Chains A and B, each alone.
Chain A
Amino acid sequence: MQYILDYVAAAILGAALLLIILNANDTSAESHSLYNGDALVQEILVQTVFLLEGELRNMGVGVPENQGCILRADTSTIWFLYDIDRNAIPDTVRYYSGSVDEFAPTPNELDRPLYRKVNSEKSLVVGSVTIFRFRYLTRLGQALSTPVVAGQLSEIHSVEITMEVQNPYAMSRSEKQVGAGERNALYSSSIWQQTRLASQNNRR
């Protein structure tokens, strides 16, 4: 009788252990995907911002003082001048976001390419973003309406960037897990919030 009880107890405990291990395995896999996605997205965001911030900081370098350095300013695009190769001829640099259709092959339906274009060269994809927005502020902190009209370009004192990066590949969820109005997958996301880049060279 004692043996039977032992076997039953061992079977119950064994089953419990098996369930716990299976559950832990699931949690581990889910967490690994999520954390890996988070870390990746943070890295992509910082790298993209590093490039963008560096270029915006150089805005106006090598541009004659009587010439404006922002050529066009809109919500998701900016054209500005700076002498990239120090040949005394200012280059036109443009940053803009593409459309979501261009990244249609990725499961994330919100991501879009971020382009950098120099003069008439071919545009290069320098990142993937889900939000890419500029706001242009005057010296008194007032936001200019976009697109900024040519007569107001010289009033731009600082540029405010809002940029969000999401993982193009997500962790899918079952239908039961998806709440009303939610997306069917979990996308890691990281946001670079309202960095004001008051270009030193722009304040002349």
Chain B
Amino acid sequence: MSNHTILTIGAFILLTSILLGFYQLLGSTGDDISNAQDLILATTIATSYIELAQGLAFDEFTDTTSAAIGNPSALTPAYKLGSDTGEDSLALFNDFDDLNGLVIEKLATGANKRFTTAFTVCYVDPENVDVPVTSQTFLKRLDLKTWRSFPPLSRSGSLDTLRLSIGLGYFHFD
């Protein structure tokens, strides 16, 4: 084999590796665009749930009474946060903490993709909303995690999880 042939094969190998990098870059750009669309869908789903949560009463107790509460100990204990008896669907939820522990899968309209959302509700310290507390306070925080559950993640890909939190405080008009 002459030097010319070796040189040509070397150039071929070099170009092939450049092309591989090029196609890899194209593929990753496509993944980024697709992930952005997934995150748009995840945002719409998560914000829909947030809207729903904001329309609920602060607590089971405040849903059934119009009297002002001066002491947070009258509220649902932290270990009992969750849906109440007979409340087995979103339409039947009447207070904010009914969402605690709920996991819902939803089909995105216009796309054959499913998104799962997990909810956690806790009492937080009104002085520092980042700190969950085990006793009742006048402030609850809802944490949502939404991710694409179908189609499943390819072996080499990565999947983003959207995390959102909102706080709901108790208030009363005399």
Binding site for B on A (CB under 8 A): 2, 5-6, 9-10, 13-14, 16-17, 20-21, 24, 27-28, 31, 35, 38-39, 42, 45-46, 131, 140-141, 157-158, 162, 164, 190-198, 200, 203
Contacts and interface: CB of A to CB of B under 8 A. Distances in A.
A6 B55 contact: no
Given A31-B26, A140-B91, A20 B15 contact: yes
Contacts of B47: 195
Contact of A13 (B9, B48, B90, B108): B9
Contact of B41 (A14, A38, A141, A191): A191
Contact of B44 (A5, A195, A200): A195
Contacts of B2: 2, 6
Contacts of A157: 55
Contacts of B90: 141
The listed residue with most A CB atoms (<10 A of its CB), out of B22, B52, B91, B110, is B110
Nearest to B22: A24
Interface of B: 2, 4-5, 8-9, 11-12, 15-16, 19, 22-23, 26, 29-30, 33, 36-37, 40-41, 44-45, 47-48, 51-52, 54-55, 90-91, 108-111
A166 B9 CA distance: 46
Given A13-B12, A158-B55, A191 B5 contact: no
A45 B40 contact: yes
B44 A193 contact: yes
B40 A192 contact: yes
B5, B19, B29, B33 — which one has the most chain A CB atoms within 10 A of its CB?
B33
A9 B2 CA distance: 11
A17 B109 contact: no
A27 B8 contact: no
B37 A42 contact: yes
Given A191-B111, A198-B51, A35 B30 contact: yes
B4 A198 contact: no
A190 B37 contact: yes
The 9 closest A-B pairs by CB, nearest first: A141-B91, A191-B110, A193-B109, A196-B48, A38-B33, A6-B4, A198-B55, A193-B44, A198-B51
A140 B48 CA distance: 15
Give the interface centre of B9, B22, B51, B52 by most chain A CB atoms within 10 Å.
B51
Nearest to B39: A42
A38 B40 contact: no
Given A9-B8, A141-B91, A42 B36 contact: yes
A122 to B, nearest CB: 31
B151 to A, nearest CB: 17
Nearest to A49: B44
Contact of A28 (B26, B30, B45): B26
